[in-house]
Amino acid sequence: MDEVIQVTQWLSSITPRKKAKLFFFTTHADAPSPMVGSNDVDTHEETQLPLATTVALHNFKNIDEFLKKKVNTFSCYNVIENEITKTDYEYLRFYSACKYLDVVPPFLDLEKISAIQNKFEMTDEERDYRLLLDSADLVLEKVCDSLKPAGVSQMRTALRKDRNLIRGVKTIDIIGFFVDPNPTGIKECLFFFIVRFLQKADKINRVNTNRLERLIAQCDESSSCEEGKTIDFIIDSLRFYPTELYPFGFCLIMCVIEGRDGAMQEIEKTMEISRHLGMITHTEKNPTKETIELVKKELMKPKYQFYSSFTCWFMSHGDSNSMVLADGETIEREWFLTSFPDISTFQLKPKVFFMVSCRGANKFSLKGDEFEGQSATCDYYDIGSALIRNRMLDITDSVRDISYVQPMMDTLVAYSTILDHLSGRANTHGSIYVGRACVLMSENISRGRSLTEILEHLSQDLHEILQETMDEDRIVYKQACHYDSFFRKTLKLPYTRHPKEDVHSAPQ
């Protein structure tokens, strides 16, 4: 069959709502730039004009033309070995969006997708199409689905009131003053136009959503929300780090085994909980400084920008300032913690570090006959509405900036013990902190708790456990854990375990 006819038939089979969403996902705002094959031109016209004209004319002609152009580009595209191009990213985004919306063109060349994934050095696990979807866009899709056409129209009215923001923007004028968002798909086009406009104006990104929240807050709840939704509910959904679908993120486990009883148990537990949470996991046993440098270099590869979060477990001996590596060398804990958050592939994404090592030799000792012989150091322990911030409106956009971000922002560091103190271990099961952390995360996965809530519960739980030193003194003591957070949103754990897809992105 002629390719033009195939494309026409494919477009005619897609509903207007899905066309709007496919356009939105395909014009992803945070695509890497500059890239090979990119001339760095302003994509304002490409991403916003089709949406604006569709809203104004109630006609999907321009969006259809955009999608046809994409399909034709991919059809003629020759995958160049060893050189990642802008088209490579666009091809993967387009395919994943089609797969998510169940509108994959029957004529799409899946072998090219497999070849592109080879260029990204993707493993079998990473060839799951869900990895390629942008979690922030999925959250915005859910916000759109929670609003009625009247609600999105009210957002547009509120946006037009900001004269400084919209001055000179032609696409705003194309939409005009009076909009009927009720025809199928028009609400979605208008909402996605507002979102992409704010992103291009550098007013919102995957972390900073205050400007969008303020537009939603000005909507009338009785007429703007779908049944069962409220303004507060919709705004709350923007207060969490976007970690939708599988995988929840990338998990790096580094564990020094030499001289650490139970270290293999620590690896097994952390691998089990990370996979249970839907993370793709990599383990480094007996890391050295060279290992750490190689891992950092690996994480800078382009494929890691598809991940929604980064988690690292580092388990070793240590003191107040440093950690002992497998070859007996030490590294400064501060150096380790500040070098990983600066990796560009995980910027504006939550980064969590579990630092499991002693930070000194002090102990919160418990004295008295009643504590003798009582300790969890043996192995029997291991049993298994936010308010609308109207007062923020008086801080003008002229004194706000979301472009420059301190490297440590969006990072959380969880320590197994407080400064200058021991971190307890069981005889064969390794770190008690690791064991309890994994148990509590597993127990809370179906409750939708945030990571910080679980860490607070862990702090209470761990401090109730009596431990005993393994030397001849057999001192009974308690351990206190804590965390330092630079989070700007809440990181909520998955409600359910994300299953791994049986079928990857392309047939082998």
Predicted local confidence at residue 496, as pLDDT: 59
| Dist CA 281 CA 300 (whole Å) | 16
Contact 266, 354 (CB under 8 A): no
CA dist 25 → 87, 135, 173 (Å): 15, 10, 24
The DSSP result for 413-424, as a single string, is EEESS-TTB---
d(CA 181, CA 187): 5
Here the tokens at position 398 are 């002229």
Q: Position of tokens 């290992």?
A: 291
pLDDT in tens, 218-263: 999 899 999 999 999 999 999 999 987 888 899 999 999 988 989 9
Segments making up each domain of the chain, as ranges: 3-28+50-132, 137-239, 249-363+405-486
Please report the pLDDT score of residue 44 as a whole number.
Answer: 56
- Kindly write down the DSSP assignment for every residue of 242-281, as one continuous string: ---SS--EEEEEEE--TT-TTHHHHHHHHHHHHHHTTEEE
Helix axes 210-217, 186-200, angle to 10 degrees: 140
- Whole-number pLDDT of residue 317: 94
Q: What pLDDT shows up at residue 47?
A: 80
Phi then psi dihedrals of residue 227, to 5 deg: -55, 130
**Residue of 22, 41, 175 lying closest to 95 (CA atoms):** 22
Q: Which of 140, 179, 168, 158 is nearest to 53 (CA)?
A: 179
Q: For residues 420 and 253, is the Cβ–Cβ distance under 8 A?
A: no
- CA 33 to CA 457: how far, in whole Å? 42
Q: How many helices (H) and strands (E) does the chain have?
A: 20, 13
Q: How many CB atoms lie within 10 A of CB 501?
A: 15
Model confidence pLDDT, tens digit, residues 262-290: 999 999 999 999 988 889 999 999 999 99
DSSP 8-state class, residue 496: S
Q: Does domain 249-363+405-486 have CATH number 1.10.1740.10?
A: no
Among 92, 59, 70, 56, which residue's Cα sits nearest to residue 23? 70
Predicted confidence at residue 170, as pLDDT, reads 81
What pLDDT, on a 0 to 100 scale, did the predictor assign at position 227? 93
Residues of the chain with pLDDT under 50: 31-42, 379-393, 502-508
Per the structure block, which two tokens stand in for 43?
């994509």
